[in-house]
Amino acid sequence: MRIDGSGAIVVGGASGLGEATVRRLHALGAAVLIADVNAERGESLASELGLEFVAADVRAEAQVQAAVEKAAQADGGLRIAVCCAGTGWAEKLAGSRGPHALVPFETIVSINLIGTFNVLRFAATAMIANEPALQAAPARTSAGDAGSEGYGPDGERGVCVNTASIAAYDGQVGQVAYSASKGGIVGMTLPAARDLARHGIRVNTIAPGLFDTPLMAALPEEARRSLGAGVPYPQRLGVPSEYAQLVCQIVENRMLNGETIRLDGALRMAPR
């Protein structure tokens, strides 16, 4: 999928990973709509970049649908949908204080998993209405490649990128709600891609490790350095622009579909 000239929506696009994605897609020529629950930050970013902002809580069906429908008004329709909306909660399953409270678990699953599903289902519906994108056939790169022979237009209509976390695989103590919500996103990636394959819509997920986001910025500097030093290589926190770079690489590579990609510097989280 070509980024230049494509309509895009970034949900959770007002800060952190989402903001970096908005900036990169915009710089590469996409018509980006920012959607976020934080209207102040979203409107500020939109004003800075000359883009549009829509306030949307991913749990609110009507708000998500309205945001996607607005993004679909771009020339050529909605082609790129990225969901970065999410939050966390720290609480053990059971202990001296009793069982894990139900409401926080429900809230985290509602925002992270059901919210992502909301964005995905409405974005996919909008993309189905698109005409297939104009595409060049893959070029011959070596004597052993098939080259362009046998390749026609792939009929691609859109690309959806979701955001999970390495906690989906390496959930730590106190992360049962967060890990469950992110594991659900990983689990629906392949079947979603298979559901949408006949429409020429790809679905992929990024599972970031430790990234220097506003949530991480709340920690003391010493704690942030210590966390970064635990990453095998590079020994630092990831920066949001690296997440945004991977989003764009996913968008542009038509063979990448139904996959969850860990973006973590080879980090495997310890229990604590």
Angle between the N-to-C axes of helices 115-128 and 61-71, in degrees from 0 to 180, rounded to the nearest 10: 40
Beta bridge partners of 263: 208
- CA distances (Å), 41 to each of 37, 67, 112, 237, 251, in order? 9, 17, 20, 23, 26
Residue 52's φ and ψ, nearest 5 degrees, are -105, 150
Other residues' Cβ atoms within 10 Å of the Cβ of residue 85: 26
Q: How far apart are the first and last CA of the chain?
A: 40
Catalytic one among 151, 169, 178, 243? 178
In this structure, which amino acid lies at residue 196? L
Half-sphere exposure in the Cβ direction for 6 (13 Å, CA): 30
243 among known catalytic residues:
no
Q: Catalytic residue positions?
A: 178
